[in-house]
Structures are given as C-alpha cells and as structure tokens.
A = this chain, B = another copy of it.
Amino acid sequence: MNKINIDQVARYAFVSRSVVSRVLNNHPHVSDVARERVLNVIKKYNYQRNSAARSLAAKNTREIGILSTRNPNDVMSNGFSTLLYLGVFEECLAQRYSVRQMFISTEMKEEFQKFILNEHTLDGVILFAEEVTDLLAGELLTREIPAVLIGHAPGFSSISSVDVDNFAGSYSAVTHLIRLGHRNIGAMVGSQLLQESQDRLAGYRKALEDAGVPLNEAFVSIGGYTQKSGHDKMLSRLRRQPEITAWFCASDTMAMGALSALCKSGLRVPDDVAVVGFDDLSFARYTIPPLTTIRQPISQKGQYAARMIIDRISGKQTDIEHRNLKPDLVIRESCGHRSRAR
C-alpha cells in the first residue's frame, strides 16, 4: 500500500530501471515479456510515478497555463470565461495534461515573466487575445514557448488562434432585427480596444449598410460586458434616444442588464423595444422575456485551444492555424415578430 518508486518496480519485475521507464513512456525496445511483467507489478503495487521527478528529469511538465490579465472577479463571474475554461479543462484532462489557471494583474507582468519564462514550469500557454501585449507575445515567441490565442489580435498572426466569427454573428443578429422591420437599431458593444468588439460592431454596421438602413453613429454605445453596464447604458440611452426600437447587445450579460433597465422604465420587450444578445449563456433561456441571441460554441473554443496547444507542444502541429468557429442565431422571444417597428 505504500508508495513505491521506480527502483522497486524494477526489482519486483526483474528488470532494470531503464526498462520500467521505457514502458512508462511507451518507448520502443522493450520485449513483450518484460513489458508484461512491469505492467503487472505496476498494477499490483498501484505504482504511480512521481511527477516532480519526472518533470525534473524530462525537462517538461505536462502542464499548460491559461492566462488572464483581467480582474479575476470579472473573469470568473461572467459565465462566459468559465465555460471557456471548462472546455480547456476537459480536453486537457482527456490528454492527461494539467492546466494551471493564472490571473496576473498588469503590474504583475514582470512577476509573470519570471514565473513562466525562467522557472519554465509550463509547457505552453493559452492566452486571451485581449491581454496580448507586444511585450508578452514577443517574449513567448522568442523563448519559443508554445502559445495559442483565444480570439484575434491584430498583428499576432504568428500565433495560432481559435475564435468565433464575431462579424458573422452580429451581422446575423442585426439582420434579424432588420427583417423584423426595425430601422432604428442601437448597438451596445464592448471596449473597442478588443478586436472582438470591433468585429461585432463591424458586423452591425455592415448589416445596416447591406440593408440600406442609414447608420446613426449616435446609436452606438460602448461599455463593458456586464449586467451593470448593459443596465446603466440602457437607462441613459432611453432618455437620449427614445426613437430606438431595437438593440443589439454584444453579450447576454449586457442584454440582461438592458432588459432590467427597460422593465424598470416601463417599456415592454419585445412590444416596445426588441433586444438581441450574444453568446447564448445558459441563463438566456430564462430572462424575461427569453433572449434571442447568437449562440457561440464557447466550451468548444476552449477545447480547440487546448488541443492546438498540446499538438504544438508535442510537435504534432507546427504550422500556424487560425480557426474560426461559426455562431448561430437562436430565436426566442425578446425580438418578437413584428413589433412597434416602423
């Protein structure tokens, strides 16, 4: 029952340490009888190799980091990231990698470099496009530490990435609103520092343009991906632009806040104002009214990211790849059919 080490396994199986190590690592040059004996001993004594020793000798850790520079509180509580992490976790578990979740504040950048780059305790890093600074990505690249981006970042085409087609998503959301007859459509999007938000805004613009609906820049509101932001923005817009009959919200959380503000203001959704969200988080079905939104395969995104980085670490994949997942429009009730629109 006590922990045994590789030497004991070797002894009990009447082979040398080297042989045990080879079967442990699936290396060739082990006879069938030897392998069999070793495997039996391992099973019998419930042997598990010491991972610290393994890492030390092999100079790798089978551990990947998932790195975020945002406020952990925001990250963890937004439902979106957690699903993403989940995808990463599951894939890594399946491939027997472990994942280390890291939050680093911007002041800690230096600390991080020490940790990741010098202690070199991570085989690879998954990062979010938003946190990719020249500095960080540059370091990663020159140190040849495998990295994969979730999202897009201009100028980092040299790092593989997974993303959802944000442009297509918002395009179809807004087109849906237009088809329902809306002309005065507001957009509530995230920080334009993020490529993602830019793309979602661009999709909105293009959808209007393609439909020949004049674009009113004043209808665009920029905020954060939170209920609070959606709520507060809506409240102030309601006063300034009462003519808006439909809102494209760049996230479900924003949309939820917006719904709350609309209700508070005595407006009915979708009769008075239509709202469409983005993400299709699990709660979207239970907002009042249930939210029409753009579904994106969030945890799949994480899964792909994990798979890509592992392939990269193992050398299975060396080319740069940019994967773009397709989002879907999910129609529920927050846009109605043909509401007050024009």
Contact = CB atoms under 8 A, between A and B. Distances in A.
Contacts of A90: 72
A121 B51 contact: yes
B227 A286 contact: yes
* Residue among A89, A118, A263 with most chain B CB within 10 A: A118
A82 interface: yes
A86 interface: yes
A228 to B, nearest CB: 8
Contacts of A79: 77, 79
Given A48-B119, A79-B79, A103 B114 contact: no
Interface in A190-220: none
Interface in A83-131: 83, 85-86, 89-90, 93, 98-101, 103, 114-115, 118-121
Interface string A202-244: 0000000000000000000000000110010000000000000
A99 B76 CA distance: 15
A282 B227 contact: yes
Assembly stoichiometry (copies): 2
A52 interface: yes
* Residue among A47, A121, A286 with most chain B CB within 10 A: A286
A75 to B, nearest CB: 8
Given A83-B76, A227-B285, A118 B3 contact: yes
B286 A288 contact: no
A89 B101 CA distance: 9
A288 B234 CA distance: 15
Nearest to A284: B227
Given A286-B227, A286-B231, A52 B46 contact: no
Contact of A49 (B72, B119, B286, B288): B119
B82 A76 contact: yes
A283 interface: yes
Interface stretch (A26-34, A172-180, A253-261, A272-280): A253-261
Given A89-B101, A101-B89, A283 B227 contact: yes
A282 B83 contact: no
Contacts of A119: 48-51
Nearest to A57: B52
A144 to B, nearest CB: 13
A181 interface: no
A135 interface: no
A82 B19 CA distance: 44
A298 to B, nearest CB: 10
Given A46-B118, A76-B82, 7 more contacts: A3-B118, A48-B114, A73-B299, A77-B86, A79-B79, A89-B101, A227-B282
Question: Which 4 A-B residue pairs are closest in the complex by CB-CB distance?
Answer: A52-B55, A260-B286, A52-B56, A48-B119
